[in-house]
Amino acid sequence: MFIDTHAHLYLEEFTEDIDQVVKNAKNAGINRILLPNISAAYIDPMNRLRNDYPEMFSSMMGLHPGSVGADFEEELEEVYAQLQTGAYIAVGEIGTDLYWDITFKEQQIIAFERQISWAKELDLPIVIHARNSMELTIDTVAKMHNGKLCGVFHCFTGTVKEAEKIIEMGFYLGIGGVATYKNSGLNDVIRQVPLDHLVLETDAPYLPPVPFRGKRNESSYLVKVAEHIAGVKNCRLDEVAAKTTKNASLLFKF
């Protein structure tokens, strides 16, 4: 059995066939899918999906760095109000993204740090987005670490050295479809990092694994990521499933 620790199945890409997507996931051995929030606009559809399939979905609450703009204070007020309900398993998806636009870089950092502080206050793990900003993101987490802070660096695409820094802080690496791409550079990380520090994810509908590149990603494709890891590490697929499921269960307190 597998846990997809990061999928946006509440987006409009799945409106027409979400029942089939859920069925596909179950048939592939996916027994839980975690839904990270993006902004206030997505809270209702995310939680409707969770409520429609409570045995399959759990949701997180956070403001995605790509959604940080001039109104970020209002967005954060909503995030905090939602977190007070106790309905969420993590603070996420939070972090920094300097790939598309750096206009709101300082606001991204403020939002990231504030949401980390809420995670510490509520004793929740954090789910981190870091694109073109790995060093900044690691440094921010290290600065705010209180010895209990934990979480996952979602869609990890960094170096072995960066992976080691993340693991030293007690965080997991989220490995998804990018690992199957020929030039991703992640095989060295997968070889050198024990399974004890990895969790699986799809980031659906984005970043589908080989052989589905160019198509919409979905949670059932997680098995392709697991197969790739098993091949790189020269271990059994059921070992990857058992270890990564245990890791996710410990982190998110299932």
216: nearest Cα among 20, 29, 2:
20
Model confidence, pTM:
0.97
Helices and strands (DSSP H and E) totals, the chain:
9, 8
Cβ-Cβ contacts under 8 Å for 109 (sequence gap 6 or more): 96, 136, 140
CATH number, domain containing residue 87? 3.20.20.140
**Segment 73-104, tens digit of pLDDT:** 999 999 999 999 999 999 999 999 999 889 99
Cβ-Cβ contacts under 8 Å for 5 (sequence gap 6 or more): 34, 127, 152, 154, 174, 199, 200, 201, 248, 252
- Confidence at residue 204, expressed as pLDDT on a 0 to 100 scale: 98
State the average pLDDT for the chain.
97
**Segment 208-234, tens digit of pLDDT:** 999 999 999 999 999 999 999 999 999
- Confidence at residue 159, expressed as pLDDT on a 0 to 100 scale: 96
Region 6-23 average pLDDT = 98
- Confidence at residue 100, expressed as pLDDT on a 0 to 100 scale: 83
Q: Are 220 and 28 within 8 A, CB to CB?
A: yes
In the chain, the number of structural domains is 1
Domain containing residue 148: 2-252
Q: Is the pLDDT of residue 35 over 90?
A: yes
Confidence bin at 139 (pLDDT 50/70/90): very high
- Confidence at residue 101, expressed as pLDDT on a 0 to 100 scale: 86
Q: How far apart are CA 174 and CA 203, in angstroms?
A: 10
- Confidence at residue 223, expressed as pLDDT on a 0 to 100 scale: 98
Share of the chain above pLDDT 70, in %: 100
